[in-house]
């Protein structure tokens, strides 16, 4: 995989509020980007923009030369988004949750990328992959346990195990360390390292101190629009260098 | 293309499986239908001729309300736990996701109604000429009800007390289905051909099949933003 992911002048507007403006980033193959910033600075919004769930109000998100807005459904297949919600059904066991997901994701594309044969698409292929994904996050004792009996951390691990189903080049993780214990965090770090080793890209938001090795950092505090909640008269604020825009300066009360 | 079709079938299977696993979802609609239809003999009295006269209306109004029951959970449950955006990110167009979930809704509500309706019709003293048309009208009408309902369900995703809102949005749009379905049965009971009414029912279904998923997907896109 030699994909690049970049954004130029990305501006996000939710309702009447400009969440952030003039944001630029570029991720080389195997790169990792850590989003930091105070609550409400738009980390989740940026991840949803990157996933193509939300169109940018201005600016452009590009993938290996193309623009993701040109073919959103195709971009969705490139993305694994693990958000705040774990998408674990109370009635499905952990193994069933992963198998259902494995059948849904575009496995033909995954097989082409990994060079595996078409037989990876069979029932047993999905099952094997789901079992190894469960084992990676230490969930194999819980494979037959329905989602309603899982703890918050276990649900989180099950949501993260979805990353290992199929092969998507871009992982978007919204505060993945929430509710994880130290061992699970280690497994997540290992998964991220393996993913980056094969040329995959990772974007994650975090409040905690941990981050992948030699990751780029994007501080969303720097891209806040002065007088938040209104229209920015001066766009150059968005390109600020961060010298005076750190902490909560320039961010008025939220509407 | 074949892969997309298989993904779509898996999505339908997942939804049907989930509904059967939960039990109450799958049986609620058909029990409601039987109970609601059986209330009428208590209300209007057990006079067989009166019951036979109003049986088409009773059956169809009960069926319409029964399909409405589980609509509020159609997209809401998946939206609340984050599954809906994951389904979209799986690479299927949102229109296909909406159609798959609507198909599953019909399989777990509409299809059992078709099985239960003739039994209820016996209890309502429906004329023997009406049974075939009853099942046919349900076959054409209940998928249309699920499709029209899916638009209402998608529009109210994220709304508080969405269930009441769905009924207000969807019931006026479902009136044509009710008119032509009961019209077909009345024709058959009067010994006339029900063909034209059934064809109009089919036309409603043919129009709703492509249009409802488009509208539902547009509404879901708004909800997911």
Tens of pLDDT along chain B (225 residues) come to 677 888 889 899 999 988 888 877 778 899 999 999 999 999 998 898 999 999 999 999 999 999 998 888 899 989 988 899 898 888 888 999 999 999 999 999 999 999 999 999 999 999 889 999 999 999 999 999 999 999 999 999 988 777 789 999 999 999 999 999 999 999 999 999 999 999 999 999 999 999 999 999 999 998 888
Q: How far is A252 from chain B (nearest CA, A)?
A: 24
Helix (H) or strand (E) holding A217: strand A216-219
What is the rounded distance in angstroms from the CA atom of residue B83 to the CA atom of residue A61? 25
Whether chain B has a CB inside 8 Å of the CB on A190: the answer is no
DSSP string for A119-132: GGGSHHHHHHHHHH
pLDDT in tens, A83-96: 888 888 888 888 88
Sign of CA dihedral B115, B189, B58, B136: positive
* 3-state SS class at A161: helix
Q: Do A100 and B10 touch (CB under 8 A)?
A: yes
Taking 50 as the threshold, does the pLDDT of residue A28 lie above it? yes
User: How far apart are alpha carbons A183 and B192 in whole angstroms?
Assistant: 74
Chain A residues with CB under 8 Å of B3 CB are 106-108
Residue listed under structure tokens 């239960």: B116
For residue A107, give the nearest of A85, A129, A90 by alpha carbon.
Answer: A129
Phi, then psi, of B116 in degrees rounded to 5: -80, -30
Number of domains in chain B: 1
Tell me what ipTM this predicted complex has: 0.81
Whether the pTM exceeds 0.90: the reply is no
| Record: contact B225-A53, CB cut-off 8 A | yes
Phi-psi region of A65 (alpha: psi -120 to 50; beta: other; left: phi over 0): left
Measured over the CA atoms of residue B137, residue B140, residue B144 and residue B146, the dihedral's sign is: positive
Q: Output the DSSP codes for B23-73.
A: SHHHHHHHHHHHHHHHHHHHHH-S-HHHHHHHHHHHHHHHHHHHHHHTTTH
State the nearest Cα–Cα gap between B175 and chain A, in angstroms: 35
| Contact residues on chain B for A79, CB-CB shorter than 8 A | 89
Pairwise CA distance, residues A37 & A46, whole Å: 12
Helix or strand run (H / E) with residue A251: none
**Dihedral angle over CA of A165, B91, A124, A200, nearest 10:** -30
Nearest-angstrom CA–CA distance, B134 and A242: 71
User: Are the CB atoms for A3 and A64 separated by under 8 Å?
Assistant: yes
Nearest Cα neighbor of A232 from A9, A22, A10 is A22
Which domain covers residue B140, as residue numbers? 2-224
Task: Count other C-beta atoms under 10 Å from residue B154's C-beta.
Answer: 28
Tokens standing for residue A180: 């994880």
β-pairing, A58-63 with A32-36?
Answer: unpaired
DSSP string of B92-120, one letter each residue: S-HHHHHHHHHHHHIIIIIHHHHHHHHHH
Cα separation, B136 vs B184, in Å, equals 10
The whole-angstrom distance between A79's CA and the closest CA on chain B is 7
Least confident of A99-103, A220-224, A229-233: A229-233
Half-sphere exposure at residue B101, Cβ-oriented, CA atoms within 13 angstroms: 31
Please tell me which of the candidates A91, A103, A162 has its beta carbon nearest to residue B21: A91
Task: Tell me what pLDDT residue A15 has.
Answer: 79
d(CA B150, nearest CA chain A) in Å:
21
CA distance A196 to A217: 16
Residue A203: pLDDT over 50: yes
How many CA atoms lie less than 13 Å away from A104 in the CB half-sphere? Answer: 28
Q: Which residues have CB under 8 Å from A123's CB, separation 6+?
A: none
Q: Name the helix (H) or strand (E) containing A9.
A: strand A5-14
Sort out which chain A residues have CB atoms less than 8 A from B90's CB and list them: 76-77, 101, 104-106
């Amino acid at each position: 995989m030699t994909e690049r992911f970049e954004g130029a002048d990305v501006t996000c507007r939710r309702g009447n509020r400009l969440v952030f403006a003039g944001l630029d980033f570029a991720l080389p193959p195997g790169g990792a980007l850590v989003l930091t910033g105070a609550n409400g600075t738009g980390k989740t919004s940026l991840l949803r923009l990157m996933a193509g769930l939300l169109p940018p109000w201005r600016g452009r998100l590009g993938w290996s030369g193309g623009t993701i807005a040109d073919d959103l459904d195709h971009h969705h297949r490139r993305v694994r988004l693990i958000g705040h919600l774990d998408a674990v059904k109370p009635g499905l066991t952990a193994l069933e949750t992963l198998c259902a997901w494995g059948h849904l994701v575009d496995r033909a594309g995954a097989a082409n990328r990994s060079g595996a044969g078409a037989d990876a698409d069979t029932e047993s292929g999905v099952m094997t992959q789901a079992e190894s994904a469960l084992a990676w996050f230490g969930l194999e004792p819980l494979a037959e346990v329905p989602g309603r009996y899982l703890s918050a951390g276990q649900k989180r691990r099950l949501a993260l195990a979805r990353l290992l189903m199929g092969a998507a080049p871009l992982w978007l993780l919204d505060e993945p360390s929430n509710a994880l214990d130290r061992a699970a965090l280690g497994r997540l770090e290992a998964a991220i390292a393996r993913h980056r080793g094969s040329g995959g890209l990772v974007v994650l938001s975090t409040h905690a101190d941990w981050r992948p090795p030699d990751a780029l950092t994007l501080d969303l505090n720097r891209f806040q629009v002065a007088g938040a909640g209104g229209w920015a008269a001066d766009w150059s604020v968005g390109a600020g260098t961060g010298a005076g825009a750190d902490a909560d300066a320039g961010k008025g009360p939220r509407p | 293309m074949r892969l997309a079709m298989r993904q779509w079938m898996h999505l339908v299977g997942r939804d049907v499986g989930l509904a059967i696993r939960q039990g109450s979802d799958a049986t609620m609609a058909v029990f409601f239908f039987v109970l609601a239809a059986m209330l009428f003999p208590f209300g209007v009295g057990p006079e067989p001729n009166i019951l036979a006269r109003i049986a088409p209306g009773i059956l169809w109004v009960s069926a319409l309300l029964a399909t409405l029951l589980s609509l509020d959970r159609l997209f809401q449950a998946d939206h609340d736990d984050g599954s809906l955006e994951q389904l979209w990110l799986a690479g299927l167009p949102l229109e296909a996701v909406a159609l798959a979930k609507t198909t599953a809704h019909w399989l777990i509500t509409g299809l059992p109604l078709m099985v239960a309706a003739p039994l209820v019709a016996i209890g309502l003293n429906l004329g023997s000429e009406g049974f075939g048309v009853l099942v046919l009208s349900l076959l054409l009408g209940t998928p249309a009800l699920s499709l029209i309902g899916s638009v209402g369900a998608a529009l109210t995703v994220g709304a508080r007390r969405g269930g009441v809102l769905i009924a207000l949005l969807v019931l006026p749009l479902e009136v044509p289905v009710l008119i032509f379905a009961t019209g077909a049965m009345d024709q058959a009971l009067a010994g006339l051909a029900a063909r034209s009414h059934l064809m109009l029912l089919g036309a409603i279904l043919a129009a709703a099949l492509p249009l409802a998923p488009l509208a539902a997907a547009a509404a879901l896109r708004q909800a997911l933003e």
